[in-house]
Structure 1
Amino acid sequence: MPKLTHSEAPLPFPILIGDIGGTNARFSILVDAYAEPKHFPNVHTADFETIDAAIQQGVLDKTAVQPRSAILAIAGPVRGDEIPLTNCDWVIRPKTMIANLGLEDVLIINDFEAQALAIAGVSEEHRETIGETSEGMIASRAVLGPGTGLGVAGLIHAQHAWIPVPGEGGHIDLGPRSERDFQIWPHLEPIEGRISAEQILCGRGLQNLYHAICKVDRIEPVLVQPADITTHALAGTNAQAEETVTLFVTYLGRVAGDIALIFMARGGVYLSGGISQKILPALQKPEFRAAFEDKAPHSALLKSIPTHVVTHPLAALAGLSAYARMPANFGLATDGRRWRR
């Protein structure tokens, strides 16, 4: 058997698992490959000056278990020894973490790689199927997550392993198709002259779309927060909010179908994140699947691909735990993203 390289060797247990977002950080400790993760209360990133302080006070001070290694998923690309987070002031410095927190091994990956790891083994208990589709085969999959932004990742199945493929697919172009789209599009807020998928398919995108609809309808917007829009839409108490969510799921269906084609995701397309869970009743209506399947000349292919909403409350941590237990099952690239004492 060939000797494992420095970057391929399994992380030593106990392992600190972390999903680091702009607002919240979620942590657990995996004592060994067979134990259930020990979860800790969510940490608000604004409450701590550094991630090291958050880990020390939010995790290490609350347990007698001293992790030997850590695997952390963050929003953004991982480059160099100082890794800034996209939506908060923390900068992750793995060498400092090793020196200050008693760790000997730190692996940092992209947050949607963790979501991709999670969908490799998500159970029926933790997903809701959208529409009537046949069960997916053991084949490549994709995940989209409308939230603070729009995350996208692929999960390629090859050589009996799952290979997560991160990227910035949320920033692909999104254009108008219907007559109503052409009315709305001039009123959307672009970035440097273009509308990306993320300009509509995220929390602020819901607001962007709602305000554009209000302008076309020549009424003053009365709803302020994304949660206000989705709540009124699902309750049927505001016409513009209803149309906003209907168009949101339509556009999400179009983008999900595009991503399915790019990754040939015969194993299914999964929607993650809080927005997808909240608007599940709207996603279950015909518009999402109709837009997903409307991909001539490959509509028959898209009809055969299942779509699901991930309902696991800690999906990213579950994905990281699956990798930590059985790294050989995943083709996760670690070069340049792993630091050892």
Structure 2
Amino acid sequence: MARSSDEHFSFPILIGDIGGTNARFSIITDQHTTPRDFPIIQTANYATIDEAIQAGVLDKTSVQPVSAILAVAGPIRGDEIPLTNCPWVVKPLDMLANLGLSDVMIVNDFEAQALAIASLGDEDQIQIGRGESLQGHSKVVLGPGTGLGVAGLVHARHAWIPVPGEGGHVDLGPRSDRENEIFPHIERIEGRVSAEQILCGRGLLNLYRAICAADGVAPILTDPAEVSTSGLANENKAAAEAIRLFSTYLGRVAGDMALVFMARGGVYLAGGIPQKILPALKGPEFRAAFEDKAPHGSLMQSIPTFVVTHPLAALAGLSSYARMPGRFGVATEGRRWRK
């Protein structure tokens, strides 16, 4: 694997956001043109990412990308990168050999979300509650979706530096008598409840089933979409409580991450779930839980929280980086492969 301090990427550039369920791709042909987006790909429909790129992108355009910058859901270590919630294994050396690419850069999926929030416009976000974003201060992005992604964004030396991690796997526990009734029924992984066990699609269903078990009733809803729809409409008591508790736990974890990064630039909720449950997040539970961080309640009140509404935020972040890599302090060592 060749490594270089050269930040430049040669056009055309393939950019991709690879999640556990869906993969989204665009091609940037030059510095100034609008990226060309391609139809969303369901990861389950292809055995490998190379097959998905070939069928879903390369076979649909005459433009041959020279470079690729891909955001993947999982830690990046070595030349084979398994995804956290998808059976794909990303192999950049194979991409260089098989897809006509000369330069492949892999970043964490929430690193891409962090790149996006560096330049979101007001039209791409909705503020929840009080607080004001301070220019040049750290930001945090959280995204409940197939899993729970977390990343920080720190401003230093005139550049935005994304800080990826696995913050979605921090511990989460009960704080009230009602939660003590519910938590024994939450599905565990090796004996513990992580934030991702509740704050994702399957986690919402997990929470709904635990509420039903605590109340001694049979669950009748079978997927996260049913839970969110019934809960928001207040058509099912357990689902409505699940949505309220989901908002509470998301507020707690978001508040924890705000403290870790001293995110006075704001905390951003990305991904599809926050947009779908926006009415619940605008209710009292989310913001109350976010601010309930004694002895730092007054600090938390000053930190704004936002729901990202840009439909392709991660791709927008990657596009900004591809065009102006010098604006961002993105580490390339061990994550960039070149012919």
| TM-score, length of structure 2 as denominator length | 0.96
- Within 5 A, what are the aligned runs for 1:314-333? 314-333=312-331
Greater shift in the superposed pair: 236-245 or 178-187: 178-187
| Cα deviation, residue 306, structure 1 | 0.5
After superposition, residues 284-323 of structure 1 pair within 5 angstroms as 284-323=282-321
Distance 2:229 2:213 in 1: 21
3-state DSSP of counterpart to 1:189: coil
Deviation, structure 1 residue 173: 0.9
Name the counterpart of 1:121. 119
Letter in 2 for 1:45: T
**Contact 1:136–1:306 under 8 Å retained in 2:** no
Task: Determine if contact 2:133/2:264 at 8 Å carries over to the other structure.
Answer: no
3-state SS of 2:240 partner: helix
Identity of paired residues, percent?
Answer: 69
Deviation track 1:169-208 (CA, whole Å, cap 9, x = no partner) reads: 1111111111211121122122222111111111111112
Instruction: Deviation per CA, 1:48-94: give whole Å up to 9, x if none.
Output: 22222221221112212111100000111111112222233322221
Equivalent residue for 1:281, pick from 275, 279, 282? 279
What whole-Å deviation, never above 9, does each CA across 1:248-276 have from its counterpart, x for those lacking one? 10111011000000000000000011111
The change in CA–CA distance for 1:134 and 1:88 in structure 2 (over 3 A counts) is closer
Output aligned runs, 1:197-236, within 5 Å.
197-236=195-234
- Displacement of 1:132 after TM fit? 2.9
Q: Distance in 2 between matches of 1:92 and 1:185?
A: 36
For 2:252, the equivalent position in structure 1 comes to 254
1:215, distance to aligned residue in structure 2 (A)? 1.6
Query: What is the letter of the counterpart of residue 27 of structure 1?
Result: F
CA contact (8 A) 2:266 2:306 kept: yes
Task: Tell me if the contact between 1:152 and 1:170 (Cα under 8 Å) persists in the aligned partners.
Answer: yes
Counterpart among 242, 245, 249 of residue 244 in structure 1:
242
Which region of structure 1 is more displaced relative to structure 2, 180-189 or 280-289? Answer: 180-189
8 Å CA contact retained: 1:118, 1:315: yes
Residues 8, 334 of structure 1: 8 Å contact kept: no
CA offset digits 1:114-169 (Å, max 9, x no partner)? 11111111111111111133344331100111111111110011111111111111
Q: Distance in 2 between matches of 1:45 and 1:234?
A: 29
* Contact 2:130-2:302 within 8 A present in 1 as well: no
Question: Which amino acid is 1:335 matched to?
Answer: E
Q: Which residue of 2 aligns with 1:59?
A: 57
Amino acid at match of 1:41: P
The corresponding residue for 2:188 is 190
Q: Secondary structure at the match of 1:61?
A: helix
Match of 2:165 among 159, 164, 167: 167
CA contact (8 A) 2:85 2:147 kept: no
1:89–1:182 distance in 2 versus 1, CA, 3 Å: closer
Residues in 2 aligned to 1:204 and 1:336: alpha-carbon distance in whole angstroms: 32
Distance 2:55 2:211 in 1: 46
The Cα of 1:209 is off from its aligned counterpart by 1.1
> How many residue pairs end up in the alignment?
337
1:279-331, Cα deviation, whole Å (9 max, x unpaired):
00000011111110011111111101100011111111000001001111111
In structure 2, C-alpha distance between the alignment counterparts of 1:47 and 1:185, rounded to whole Å = 35
Q: Is the 8 A contact 2:129 2:287 kept in 1?
A: yes
Aligned residues of 1:115 and 1:319 also touching (Cα < 8 A): yes
Match of 2:140 in 1: 142
CA-based RMSD of the aligned residues comes to 1.2
After superposition, where does 1:14-163 map in structure 2 within 5 Å? 14-163=12-161
Question: Secondary structure at the residue paired with 1:134?
Answer: coil
Structure 1 SS opposite 2:228: helix
The aligned amino acid for 1:228 is: E
Q: Residue 177 of structure 1 is aligned with which of 175, 180, 190? A: 175
Distance 1:306 1:267 in 2: 8
CA contact (8 A) 1:187 1:215 kept: yes
